[in-house]
Amino acid sequence: MAVTAAQAASDMFANDVVIIDMREFASYTDYFVIASAETERQTRRIVEEVLERMSGEGYRPASRRIPEGTSWTSLDFLDVVVHIFTDEARDYYRLESLWKSAPQERWSGEARAR
């Protein structure tokens, strides 16, 4: 599931896609997928692609926050929470740093079972 989201973001040219294994750190999700793009328009397109791919595999978000003109969109698929930022917002919120003790993998497009 995390692989599907990461690959969808990567295919839409997201910057620096990261999968964070949250299983030892959070009860509400197993993985975070974090990605970014230069503009809000690009982030919206990445979000649309992630939703389309996840839906195609039968996954529906429990909740999603996709307001217009936002620099951070989150999609909650329960086992996976996807965060899509503008590059500027990602630098500001630094989620990877907040969860630096959790295992993190930079997505290179190589499928793994997640």
Bridge pairing between strands 15-21 and 72-76? unpaired
Average pLDDT, the chain: 92
User: How is domain 2-106 classified at the CATH fold level?
Assistant: Beta Polymerase; domain 2 (3.30.460)
pLDDT for the residue numbered 56? 96
| pLDDT higher than threshold 80 for residue 43 | yes
| pLDDT higher than threshold 50 for residue 114 | no
| pLDDT higher than threshold 70 for residue 107 | yes
| pLDDT higher than threshold 60 for residue 90 | yes
CA angle (72 as vertex; 56, 53 as ends), nearest 5:
10
- pTM of the shown model: 0.90
User: b or e along 45-74 (b: 16 or more beta carbons within 10 Å of the residue's beta carbon)?
Assistant: bbbebbbebbeeeebebeeeeeeeebbbbb
Which sequence spans correspond to the domains of the chain? 2-106
- Backbone torsions φ then ψ of 62, nearest 5 degrees: -70, -35
